[in-house]
Structure 1
Amino acid sequence: MAILDLTLAPVVSPAFGGMEFGTVGQYEVMKGTAKGVLDPSNPLNAGIVNLDRAPRNSSGLVEYIVDVAILKPVDMSRGNRRIFYEVVNRGTKFANFWINSGVMGNDPWGPGDVGTGFLMNQGYTIVWSAWQGDVVAGGGRMLAQFPIPTNNGQPIVGTSREEYTDTGISTTFTGNLTYPAADLDPTKATLTVRAREHDPRAIPSDLTWQYLNTMQISINRPAGYDSGAIYEFIYPAKDPKVMGIGFAAVRDVVSYLRYEKADDNGTPNPLKLKGKPSIKKVLALGVSQSGRFLRDFIHQGFNEDESGRITFDGVIPLITGSRKSFTNYEFAQPGRNSRQHEDHLFPGDQFPFTYRVTTDPISGETGGIHETCQCNDTCPKIMHMDGENEIWQGRGSLVVTNTRGTKDLTLPKNVRAYLFAGTQHFPGLPPTMGICQQLSNPMDYRPFIRALIVALDRWVSDGTQPPPSQYASLKSGTLVPPLSTGFPDIPGVNYTGLVNYLNVLDHSTQPPTIGAPYPEYVTAVDADGNSIAGIRHPFLIVPLGTYTGWNLRAIGHGANDLCSLTGSYIPFAKTAEERIAAGDPRLSIEERYRNHNAYLIRVVFATLLLYLQGFLLVEDAAQIIQDAATGDMTQDHLGVQIDPEIAQIIKEHS
């Protein structure tokens, strides 16, 4: 058996202050570790980079240990007999925030943390396990212990690359290394700087650095470069971890909880019911980094367990765009996220981009996310969900078009693609300026996710078809070149059409060799600058401002490059007089809505339509109408609140 030992103990019982959830009752939290083993000779493990060079136990198997946490009904017989598995993001649990609209954090078990309580009211058993071997301990993050391979007993040495940006304005700063330096001779490493991503690399005379130890360098900031400058450090590294074990660890923990009665030590499966496994179906969610992990998980064939059984029945890659992950590599860095300004050239964003198998004339390769699973009938049903930021930063168009950008693709029958129009990466947060030129985008797409989870459950359970895909397309004219969107000329808004452009990359050299470009397509907009494609929130259909998936960096922070994962919120003028004085082409609020009741009636109709289409649950529809009824039309009306932990978590995950 792949899982030798799963040791869990209740740590919070009952959770949420003893709160009862519908007919399910109380929940409890269990935490512990799973010790797993892998046979490098098993064909299902053979693709894990360096697994064959990892240390082995007396049975010739490779061992690993991962943290496990389970939030389950106290009485399993009252649950829905389904696992909702969330792939943790850099060791952090996101589901309570993204799905329940509750507090974000690793221990959100208090009575005030629960948000809507959606997952618990549905009766899910929620499971998390660690998969990323380089997560730093602390903050309750979930950790994985993976072995370090060797080359016949000698350390493996190779070239590794680091990037540092948004480093502040102090004279010096410290850069952490992912892997220890193999040689502290500074002549064997290089450090360059550039103001923006597309600028040439430079080594000014006052750019100096030194090793502080094998895991850190100190950099002296050169004159003329602001906080947003990009520092690239290339050095000889050693002791890579077998990071690809993360895929097998997720597969094996889920497979054990789903199918087995006990581990090798005879310890019963904690999800058993009447002595047998109680789980009938498993849904998986991955948010951002962990969504890219899930796409990679399927692409590399890990949705088949070592007994030939399916791991996940339904999968939600959330806000991933067309990317995968930088995980199953020798000197992997799974935390990297390719954006236009940051981490732009790291692996994990190359072909294939979409689910069906296609041939890419630009790279000359053939492949697809479903390339392996379609051969053994282990492809899950997939709901691919993107926000509008993924169009700009995640090349979302490549999920639904061919790589020439000449025609739309027909997605496999078991795949749906949904685009949440007018949204940024992190949903439902109060507008702030930060390092961007415009206010951030507060639009909240989480109500759509809840409705679609219900639809996904029905789809995997009895074949009930979910709502059809709602994504931008070439045929409908909602996918267009970046300079042909029709974005209005709004005073104080600098629209440049900049996207996270993509080229074929050769990572055998460092920095990577840049090859042929891919076409760039983004969503068309209406006269207000609001996207016309995908699922449109009632507050986008009946707007009080312009909501975009992009924003630009402000002066002092790499000005005019894309501002990471942030969208824009550009409020309308309150009156016609203010609009005319400002030269704003967008109608003012008073010109749009005769009074608050006129505004509210339009919100009600837009909300009911989304409910009838299956994109809103009744309770979320009611809440949206309530927010519109009680909000001030001249202010931000979304009424969102932010937990003190969120700002730090967003910084860590950007």
Structure 2
Amino acid sequence: MKLCVCVATIGLALASLPSAYAEVTRVEVSQRVPFANGHVFGRTGAYESVSGRLFFDVDPNADANDRVCDLKLAPKNQHGRVEFWADFFLLRPANPEKGNGCLLYDVHNRGSKLALMTFNDAEISVNPTSLDDAGNGFLMREGYSILWTGWNGDVVDDGTGRLLAGLPIAKNSDGSPITGPNYVEILVDEPTDSQAFYFSPWGTSAGYPTVDANDASAKLTMRSSRSADPIVIPRNEWAFADYVDGKLIENPAALYVQGGMKPGWIYELVYTARDPRVSGLGLAGLRDAVSFFRYHENTNDQNLSNPLAGACDRAIVFGISQSGRLIHHFMYEGFNVDERARTVFDGAVIHVAGAGKGLFNSRFAMATVYGTQLRNNLSPADFFPFATSPQVDPLTGESGDSLARLRGKNDLPKLFFVQTSTEYWSRAASLLHTDVEGTRDLELDPNTRIYLIAGAQHLGASPTDRGICRYLRNPLKHRGPVLRAMLTSMDDWVARDTLPPASAYPRIDEGTLVSLDEFRDQFPSIPGVDVPTVCHQPLRLDLGPRWADQGIADHVPPKIGKAYRTLVPTVDQDGNERAGIRLPDVAAATATYTGWNLRDESLGGAGALADLHGGYHPFPVVATEGDSRVPLKERYPSRSDYLAAFADSVALLHGQRFLLAEDALMMLDMARGRDVPTDSPK
């Protein structure tokens, strides 16, 4: 009897402890409703949305979590594990048997959902509920289950429904706050007296507060350009504060400058920050959330009910810009294998991420920070190794590849890097496939494909007004049509081992990837258009001895080394890029489309690139002095000549599997409805 009591007691004690693999401990569903009022999407039928919150705990001593910066300094529960939570939003076929078996995970960007905007041509929505939010219904007609979860601890709850993640704050072993040096760069496009540390029009992120609003050791400088010497701003002429209605309001994560900040000037603040989030748990939580939805089989435990149980046999991750950098970094840190050694994602479609990763897993990490030619050059978001195949930096002696931590564990994920022209100019995309000196092409990993969408810009199709730019902005639409084909090819590769289209990107050995000087020599003459004299070349940065292994910076700001050498795509006689996926508006062109634009000089930063914007330069209708491009009336003597050239391009892209049939037909219909291109461009 004593033995039985002892066994029973041990059993109860073990039952009260979390499993060794209790990554998701509770699913809290707040809403489960028909999507779009039960609208039937083709053969898949109706969809439903399920939303709520996931609760996690992780073992800080597990090998799978070894790369999470400061994890062992996070608060622990009674079982020695670290707890956190994340919002989730799921769209799934109401009848799972009618789905296609694929879980599509859309990495949110600053809390916003982008997959429906991208693949379905819908308006962006933080809470998709209506048929309008479904756009053209592509993802639903194809039967995908679409998942979003919070991962980014610096997203601010602004009441709009952004996805949040509750990540813990790291503490010293004695429970006292962790403090340390931090660097913030601010550049404004219009005069302002104050600004949050990490303001963004797409969603301002929560910065790390100063330890003391009156800290006399904090230092602020300003400079008119990247090459100009910094000017120290006296401490009594700036403050940690907002300026509202003529009054200073103390804010430990905002900067006020007496007399206002000048547009185009670079303001650099070094101060002592406190309370770093354990940001790497965002990556671990993403891993564990997807593993739960993909693998968890339902039991009688209602706290762990999986709305996708048995519905998906594969998973693909998709991300744009910051979200794409997150995916690359996720793979680099080895998170694509969960604590039970299971594969998380079979494939990834990484859009407009350049060669970058990010500040996703370090002390005082900020996901929103990235470098361009003008901004945030001292951000270590773009760091070696850049490529998914082995490379060496002859200057530092470093070697490696961004998939090294995944090699030998499971099958490597299949990766698409889909770039626009802007990524070569402003996000160092050439480093994905050249050596770091820009002298030779690298052999791609067999599981990696790289595609350039020629002439497109990072932000997608824009209105042609100038905004902050000197020239018209780029209206070339690429995201929906090309990315629908890309997702289809990725799913075919993952599910049926059907090889995708061959990579299509500029190469040194083919003469389609060149230095900036070579590009300047070949670009056509266009009246009033100056060719850039700069492009983004990430710097080798030294953040100190603890950075690589622990994610802790000792050199703040970092010590600056030699820049990596980046290259840009060549262009034809029209100024349109020769390599890559040439959409009909580029192949049967009526204008020059560029992935670069220059800043409006009235906004400061003269001669600098206008960040992530591209340009648009319509062809002249008739021969024009100073314009070396063939005019429209000579290029297309009749409307039928234009339509024939356009149709040939569409047919070629469809044959190469860069356009689905429905998009090919849509483009042909669109072209037939256009004005005759030999009319004066509007």
User: What is the TM-score with the length of structure 1 in the denominator?
Assistant: 0.93
- Identify the residue that residue 435 of structure 2 maps to in structure 1: 402
Q: Does residue 165 of the first structure (1) align with residue 187 of the second (2)?
A: yes
Secondary structure in 2 aligned to 1:470? coil
The structural deviation recorded for 1:378 is 4.1
Structure 1: gaps (5+ residues): 640-654
- Partners of 1:401 and 1:409 within 8 A in 2: yes
Matches within 5 A, 1:106-125: 106-125=126-145
Which of the numbers 607, 616, 619 marks the counterpart of 2:650?
607
Larger radius of gyration between Structure 1 and Structure 2: 2
Q: Does residue 194 of the first structure (1) align with residue 223 of the second (2)?
A: yes
Give CA deviations for 1:104-151 in whole Å, capped at 9, x if unaligned.
121233222333321111100000001100101122110000111111
- Identify the residue that residue 215 of structure 1 maps to in structure 2: 252
* Distance change >3 Å, CA 251–CA 378, structure 1 → 2: farther
Q: Does residue 235 of the first structure (1) align with residue 271 of the second (2)?
A: yes
What amino acid does structure 2 have at the position aligned with 1:432?
D
The structural deviation recorded for 1:489 is 2.1
Q: Does residue 3 of the first structure (1) align with residue 24 of the second (2)?
A: yes
Q: Does residue 425 of the first structure (1) align with residue 458 of the second (2)?
A: yes
- Identify the residue that residue 166 of structure 2 maps to in structure 1: 145
Which of the numbers 616, 619, 636 marks the counterpart of 1:569?
616
- Partners of 1:325 and 1:347 within 8 A in 2: yes
The structural deviation recorded for 1:287 is 0.8
* Distance change >3 Å, CA 594–CA 167, structure 1 → 2: closer
Matches within 5 A, 1:97-496: 97-138=117-158, 139-152=160-173, 153-166=175-188, 168-170=190-192, 172-176=193-197, 178-203=207-232, 208-212=237-241, 213-220=250-257, 226-262=262-298, 265-267=301-303, 269-272=305-308, 276-446=309-479, 447-485=481-519, 486-496=522-532
- Identify the residue that residue 626 of structure 1 maps to in structure 2: 669
The structural deviation recorded for 1:42 is 0.1
- Partners of 1:206 and 1:220 within 8 A in 2: no
Which of the numbers 547, 556, 559 marks the counterpart of 2:606?
559
Secondary structure in 2 aligned to 1:491? coil
Secondary structure in 2 aligned to 1:235? strand
Per mean C-alpha deviation after superposition, the further-off stretch among 561-570 and 364-373 is 364-373
Per mean C-alpha deviation after superposition, the further-off stretch among 65-74 and 495-504 is 495-504
- Identify the residue that residue 45 of structure 1 maps to in structure 2: 65
- Identify the residue that residue 525 of structure 1 maps to in structure 2: 571
Measured in 2, the distance between the counterparts of 1:269 and 1:464 equals 34
* Distance change >3 Å, CA 154–CA 93, structure 1 → 2: same
Give CA deviations for 1:235-276 in whole Å, capped at 9, x if unaligned.
00010010000110000000000101248944454334xxx5
Give CA deviations for 1:366-417 in whole Å, capped at 9, x if unaligned.
1211101112124211111111111111111111111122211111111111
What amino acid does structure 1 have at the position aligned with 2:494?
V
What amino acid does structure 2 have at the position aligned with 1:188?
S
Measured in 1, the distance between the counterparts of 2:43 and 2:230 equals 61
Measured in 2, the distance between the counterparts of 1:76 and 1:369 equals 36
Measured in 2, the distance between the counterparts of 1:125 and 1:525 equals 40
- Partners of 1:207 and 1:220 within 8 A in 2: no
The structural deviation recorded for 1:185 is 2.9
- Partners of 1:257 and 1:277 within 8 A in 2: no
Give CA deviations for 1:44-89 in whole Å, capped at 9, x if unaligned.
1011111001100111100000000001111111111110001111
Give CA deviations for 1:222-245 in whole Å, capped at 9, x if unaligned.
69x741211111100010010000
Give % identity: 35
The structural deviation recorded for 1:159 is 0.8
Q: Would you say how many aligned residue pairs link Structure 1 and Structure 2?
A: 629
User: What is the TM-score with the length of structure 2 in the denominator?
Assistant: 0.89
The structural deviation recorded for 1:277 is 2.1
- Partners of 1:314 and 1:382 within 8 A in 2: yes
- Partners of 2:219 and 2:232 within 8 A in 1: no
- Identify the residue that residue 84 of structure 2 maps to in structure 1: 64
Which of the numbers 535, 538, 542 marks the counterpart of 2:581?
535
- Identify the residue that residue 648 of structure 1 maps to in structure 2: none
The structural deviation recorded for 1:596 is 1.5
The structural deviation recorded for 1:207 is 8.5
The structural deviation recorded for 1:637 is 12
Give CA deviations for 1:320-354 in whole Å, capped at 9, x if unaligned.
11110111101101111211112221122010100
What amino acid does structure 1 have at the position aligned with 2:178?
I
The structural deviation recorded for 1:161 is 1.3
Measured in 1, the distance between the counterparts of 2:330 and 2:678 equals 43
- Partners of 2:346 and 2:414 within 8 A in 1: yes
Give CA deviations for 1:531-557 in whole Å, capped at 9, x if unaligned.
111111011001111101111100222
Measured in 2, the distance between the counterparts of 1:309 and 1:635 equals 58
- Partners of 1:261 and 1:268 within 8 A in 2: no
The structural deviation recorded for 1:204 is 5.2
Secondary structure in 2 aligned to 1:154? coil
The structural deviation recorded for 1:601 is 0.9
* Distance change >3 Å, CA 321–CA 174, structure 1 → 2: closer
Secondary structure in 2 aligned to 1:187? coil
* Distance change >3 Å, CA 144–CA 80, structure 1 → 2: same
The structural deviation recorded for 1:483 is 1.6
Secondary structure in 2 aligned to 1:66? strand
Measured in 2, the distance between the counterparts of 1:103 and 1:214 equals 34
Measured in 2, the distance between the counterparts of 1:240 and 1:29 equals 34
Secondary structure in 2 aligned to 1:598? helix
The structural deviation recorded for 1:437 is 0.5
